[in-house]
């Protein structure tokens, strides 16, 4: 007898039904029309059931069994198929049931969830480590990034080998330090701390920190003079950062990129040492330090030192310094004042500035006559630290070129770097015009808003931003305003004067040739109505505030380019294996190398005199 089916034996008065504890789940089940010769038949419109016996003459089927069969047939179309749970299926006949819906969640052993990782041998173009992505675009971009870092370091005779994976920086407050922090935070391998500044790898603040500079070792790397002129000239337009490198290195890189695969990149020490005979392996560790100020930065940043350095440089070249700077006098005492008065008997307009420890328009006065200058300078003036002031007296440019009837000056940037003791000077290709809020006039000399274009002064004017947003004009807008080509005339003059500043102070800036320091300077020029360029002053800690939409784009780009040139090659990111770690898509940079201590065309006698002078 098959278990689970109702049965009736002719020789017994007992009916047998399968055990109730075994409940079959709901599934499609076909009952046979007869069980052991019994046939079930119902009478229409009657609740009675007639059980008809076949020819075997066996007993009738009980009514209870009939009702159960009928009920199941009526609900047949509404029943859902399900998966059998437990061991019940083992009691069924050899019939395979394939349910469509399961109310039991699929449960798999944990071992089944752990996929076996198969490691394939990676045949990369540049990096064969299996951790690197096999994506060819990533491989190429990563190789280009390492080649860029190594190329910048090669220009300083360095090959960087980091021994740590992250670095610490301290960013001082003031002069838009928040922007500097934001740009540095994009570099995921850097962290910013707010204490123990002498323990950090990078210190950025407004003023020079002498104790931090003392922690930076002096370089013992020799400066190897190279030929200025390269005989072999190649097209190097396809090197995106070629203007950051010396010409000889560019020529070698041009030959390199014509090769294929790894041989077209600089991604190892063996490849790098082919470019330099004096290549130094520099291990970057927790004690490696970089400061955003250099020793003796006042040789450019101080108005009196700038005047003396430029005066001596131009005299040694047989030139008159007052063809580049307005007529200038340094008044230290009464004797200097008397000499100034005797040499200038004619009445002129003079501008008087503190000779040291000042910028952004502080302490500047304009006088109509010599007598007014004399009266002002006869009094003794002191700095906040108690030191007696000295003054620079300059002849006021009475015929300035005007922008829509208003006075303006031009702000440019230069960068001095001392990496591995190699001195380099860079010109920033972008700058801006700073305009006055009022029309120019020599009648009212007391109104500083007419004559001084510094942001620190102009922002207090009611008309600030009325004519130009933030009182700023871009180089391209200014070029469209001029009747001449700005880039071919004024721009070239400014760039040449910037180069003269590096040459004039060679040996004075960073005299001990520290391993890792740099300085960003802001240079101010004026133009007269004959389109002649005049150097006004050079400032350390130039203003980095984003006043207006023009500077909101220029200043962040300036800092980003600065970090790409100085910070990133010296402190490169640790090895990474995903494209998400790239922080910039290109190596474009507005800085341009214009001075290199390895390629110096200053005669040796000039250099020696400048170095000996303290």
3-class state of residue 525 by DSSP: strand
Integer Cα distance of 31 and 140 in angstroms: 72
- Give me the pLDDT at residue 503, please: 95
pLDDT digits (tens, 9 = 90+) for 397-455: 999 999 999 999 999 999 999 999 999 999 999 999 999 999 999 988 888 889 988 88
Which pair of structure tokens corresponds to residue 160?
């960087």
Tokens of 352: 């008087």
Question: Has residue 163 got a pLDDT over 90?
Answer: yes
Tokens representing 504 are: 């004039």
The whole-number pLDDT of residue 69 equals 67
User: Which one is predicted more confidently, 344 or 510?
Assistant: 510
Lowest mean pLDDT among 148-157, 315-324, 352-361: 352-361
Task: Name 537's bridge partners.
Answer: 524
Give percent above pLDDT 70 in the chain: 73
Query: Does residue 118 or residue 510 have the better pLDDT?
Result: 510
Rounded distance between C-alpha atoms, residue 529 and residue 564, angstroms: 38
The DSSP element (H or E) to which 591 belongs, if any, is strand 591-596
Q: Which pLDDT value is given to residue 377?
A: 87
DSSP string, 104-125: SPP---HHHHSPPPPPPPP--S
- Residue 16 or residue 343, greater confidence: 343
pLDDT of residue 39 exceeding 50, the answer is no
What pLDDT score was predicted for residue 128? Answer: 65
Average pLDDT, rounded, for the chain:
81
Say what the pLDDT of residue 357 is: 67
Q: Is the pTM of this model over 0.75?
A: yes
What does the pLDDT look like over 41-52, one tens digit per residue?
Answer: 444 444 444 444
pLDDT digits (tens, 9 = 90+) for 102-111: 444 444 454 4
Beta-carbon neighbour count of residue 406 at 10 Å? 19
- Residue 531 buriedness (CB in 10 A; 0-12 / 13-18 / 19+): middle
pLDDT score of 237: 55
Q: By percentage, how much of the chain surpasses pLDDT 90?
A: 52
Give the pLDDT confidence score for residue 378 in this predicted structure.
84
Q: Is pLDDT above 90 for 471? A: yes
| pLDDT tens track for 174-183 | 999 999 999 9
pLDDT at residue 176 in the model: 93
Q: Tell whether the model's pLDDT for residue 295 goes beyond 90.
A: yes
Residue 73: CB atoms within 10 Å: 11
Angstrom distance (rounded) from CA 504 to CA 502 = 6
Range 522-526 average pLDDT? 97
Check residue 388 and give its pLDDT: 81
Say if residue 100's pLDDT is above 60: no
Q: How far is CA 433 from CA 49, 540, 546, in A?
A: 109, 19, 14
What is the pLDDT averaged over residues 120-134?
62
pLDDT at residue number 347: 76
Residue 552 CA from chain centroid, whole number: 15
- Residue 221 predicted with pLDDT over 80: no
pLDDT of residue 68: 60
Give the per-residue pLDDT at 108.
44
So what's the pLDDT on residue 558?
Answer: 97
In this predicted structure, what is the pLDDT of residue 362?
75
Beta strands in 205-297 (DSSP E): 280-284, 290-291
Decide if pLDDT at 291 tops 80. yes
Section 238-258 average pLDDT = 89
pLDDT at 31 over 90: no
Question: Burial code of 445-484, b = ≥16 C-beta within 10 A, e = fewer?
Answer: beebbbbbbbbebbeebeebeebbebbbbbbeebbeeeee
366, pLDDT greater than 50: yes
Q: In whole angstroms, what is the distance from residue 177 CA to residue 523 CA? A: 21
Q: What is the pLDDT of residue 124?
A: 53
pLDDT digits 0-9 by tens, 539-572? 999 999 998 899 999 999 999 999 999 999 999 9
Q: Quote the pLDDT of residue 202.
A: 98
Residue 222: per-residue pLDDT:
67
What pLDDT shows up at residue 90? 46
pLDDT given for residue 601 in this prediction: 60
- The confidence score (pLDDT) of residue 70 equals 62
Q: Are 435 and 472 in contact (CB under 8 A)?
A: yes
The residue that leads in pLDDT, 15 or 483, is 483
């Amino acid at each position: 007898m098959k278990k689970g089916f109702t049965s009736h034996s002719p020789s017994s008065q007992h009916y047998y039904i399968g055990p109730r504890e075994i409940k079959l789940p709901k599934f499609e089940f076909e009952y046979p029309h007869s069980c052991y010769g019994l046939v079930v038949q119902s009478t229409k419109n009657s609740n009675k059931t007639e059980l008809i016996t076949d020819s075997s003459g066996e007993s009738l089927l009980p009514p209870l069994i009939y009702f159960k069969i009928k009920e199941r047939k009526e609900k047949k179309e509404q029943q859902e198929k399900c998966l059998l749970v437990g061991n019940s299926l083992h009691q069924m006949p050899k019939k395979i049931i394939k349910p469509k819906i399961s109310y039991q969640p699929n449960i798999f052993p944990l071992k089944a969830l752990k996929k076996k990782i198969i490691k394939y041998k990676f045949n990369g173009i540049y990096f064969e480590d299996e951790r690197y992505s096999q994506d060819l675009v990533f491989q190429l971009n990563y190789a280009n990034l390492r080649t860029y870092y190594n190329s910048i370091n090669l220009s300083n005779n360095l090959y960087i080998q980091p021994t740590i994976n992250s670095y610490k920086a301290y960013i001082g407050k003031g002069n838009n330090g928040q922007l500097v922090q934001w740009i540095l935070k994009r570099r995921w391998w850097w962290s910013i701390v707010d204490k123990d500044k002498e323990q950090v790898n990078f210190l950025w603040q407004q003023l020079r920190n002498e104790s931090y500079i003392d922690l930076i070792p002096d370089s013992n790397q020799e400066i190897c003079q190279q030929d200025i002129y390269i005989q072999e000239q190649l097209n190097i337009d396809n090197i995106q950062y070629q203007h950051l490198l010396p010409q000889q290195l560019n020529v070698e890189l041009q030959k390199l990129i014509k090769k294929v695969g790894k041989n077209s990149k600089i991604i190892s020490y063996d490849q790098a040492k082919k470019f330099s005979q004096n290549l130094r392996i520099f291990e970057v560790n927790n004690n490696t330090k970089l400061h955003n100020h250099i020793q003796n930065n006042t040789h450019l940043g101080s108005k009196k030192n700038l005047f003396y350095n430029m005066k001596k440089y131009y005299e040694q070249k047989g030139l008159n310094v007052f063809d580049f700077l307005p007529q200038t006098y340094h008044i230290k005492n009464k004797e200097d004042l008397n000499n100034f008065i005797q040499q200038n008997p004619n009445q002129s307009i003079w501008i008087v500035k503190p000779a040291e420890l000042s910028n952004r328009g502080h302490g500047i006065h304009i006088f109509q006559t010599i007598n007014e200058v004399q009266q002002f300078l006869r009094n003794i003036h002191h700095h906040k630290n108690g030191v007696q002031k000295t003054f620079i007296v300059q002849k006021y440019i009475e015929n300035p070129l005007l922008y829509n009837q208003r006075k303006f000056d031009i702000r440019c940037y230069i960068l001095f770097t001392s990496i591995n003791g190699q001195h380099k000077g860079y010109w920033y290709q972008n700058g801006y015009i700073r305009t006055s809020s009022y029309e120019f006039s020599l009648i009212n000399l007391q109104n500083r808003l007419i004559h001084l274009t510094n942001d620190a002064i102009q922002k207090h004017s009611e008309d600030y931003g009325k004519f130009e947003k933030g009182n700023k004009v871009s180089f391209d807008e200014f070029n469209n305003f001029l009747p001449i080509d700005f880039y071919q005339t004024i721009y070239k003059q400014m760039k040449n004067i910037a180069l003269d500043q590096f040459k004039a102070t060679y040996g004075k800036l960073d005299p001990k040739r520290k391993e890792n320091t740099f300085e960003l300077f802001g240079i101010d020029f004026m133009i007269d109505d004959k389109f002649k360029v005049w150097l006004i002053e050079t400032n350390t800690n130039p203003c980095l505030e984003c006043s207006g939409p023009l500077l909101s784009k220029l200043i962040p780009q300036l800092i980003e380019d600065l970090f790409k040139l100085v910070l990133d090659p010296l402190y490169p990111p640790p090895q990474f294996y995903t494209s998400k770690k790239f922080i910039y898509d290109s190596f474009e940079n507005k800085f341009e190398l214009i001075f290199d201590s390895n390629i110096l065309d200053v005669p040796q006698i000039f250099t020696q005199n400048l170095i000996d002078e303290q």
